[in-house]
Amino acid sequence: MNTSTFTEYTVVDESSVAKIDDAAPPEKVCLIGCGFSTGYGAAVKTGKVKPGSTCVVFGLGGVGLSVIMGCKSAGASRIIGIDLNKDKFEKAMAVGATECISPKDSTKPISEVLSEMTGNNVGYTFEVIGHLETMIDALASCHMNYGTSVVVGVPPSAKMLTYDPMLLFTGRTWKGCVFGGLKSRDDVPKLVTEFLAKKFDLDQLITHVLPFKKISEGFELLNSGQSIRTVLTF
């Protein structure tokens, strides 16, 4: 935790280490170190998605896809993915989204589009982009009385958010989460055990495997939107 190095051996405080099952393949469970856990936990731990509910996920990158996997695991009956890049829809559907839409396809505010699509029945929304505008859109898109909206995307630093307080006054719940609301030392080993029990499939998130010397190529794939997660091997 808070240590990111490429050394073969690292000395860290005991509290920063989580011991996992020896049988776990490092080239798969490395995703549990951050991205997957953040999204999956946002749905099952922070959002506490209930079976049969309708969920909406704003942003279909690696963490957004992990939110979808968490919603599916929690038993959501309808999971709507939202992204400007329609190339991401196929993968979102593969990991559990029931449908995907682009805000560009309508002149109406996305909250109105979702209300019409669902009969005003969105129980949970997740902002997994980190844009102030979409944080408010996500809040406005969940049910005005009992909806829960979770901020997962990292907001821009030193920026202030302005919103209509009526969005909260009517009964919505607005939550934030870091690392999916998980306690790393306790929950990382549990997630690894669940992975070994095939409760979720991390292969869906790994689009590229490269040798360590091609780390720059890995970042290019990420920045250009061609990859979800690239695993580097030594």
For 69, list phi and psi in degrees, rounded to 5: -65, -35
3-class secondary-structure state, position 234: coil
Give me the pLDDT at residue 207, please.
94
Report residue 105 as tokens. Answer: 């396809």
Instruction: For tokens 């009517």, name the residue.
Output: 170
Rounded to whole angstroms, how far apart are CA atoms 32 and 129? 19
Residue 220 near residue 208 (C-beta atoms within 8 A):
no
User: What's the predicted TM-score (pTM) here?
Assistant: 0.93
Give me the pLDDT at residue 201, please.
93
Task: Output the CA–CA distances (angstroms, integers) from residue 58 to 14, 27, 67, 102, 168, in the order listed.
Answer: 36, 28, 10, 10, 19
Residue 131 near residue 158 (C-beta atoms within 8 A):
no
What is the tens place of the pLDDT at every residue in 168-186?
999 999 999 999 999 989 9
Task: Output the CA–CA distances (angstroms, integers) from residue 82 to 32, 51, 57, 121, in the order listed.
Answer: 24, 21, 6, 16
Domains of the chain: 35-180 (3.40.50.720), 203-233 (no CATH)
In degrees, rounded to 5, the angle at the alpha carbon of residue 221 between the alpha carbons of residues 206 and 16 is 55
Residue 37 near residue 188 (C-beta atoms within 8 A):
yes
Among 6-10, 24-28, 138-142, name the one with the lowest average pLDDT.
Answer: 6-10
Cα 15 to chain centroid distance, Å, stands at 25
Mean pLDDT, residues 103-118 taken together? 95
Give me the pLDDT at residue 86, please.
92
Give me the pLDDT at residue 1, please.
60
Give me the pLDDT at residue 4, please.
73
What is the tens place of the pLDDT at every residue in 123-134?
999 999 999 999
| Residues above pLDDT 70, as percent of the chain | 99
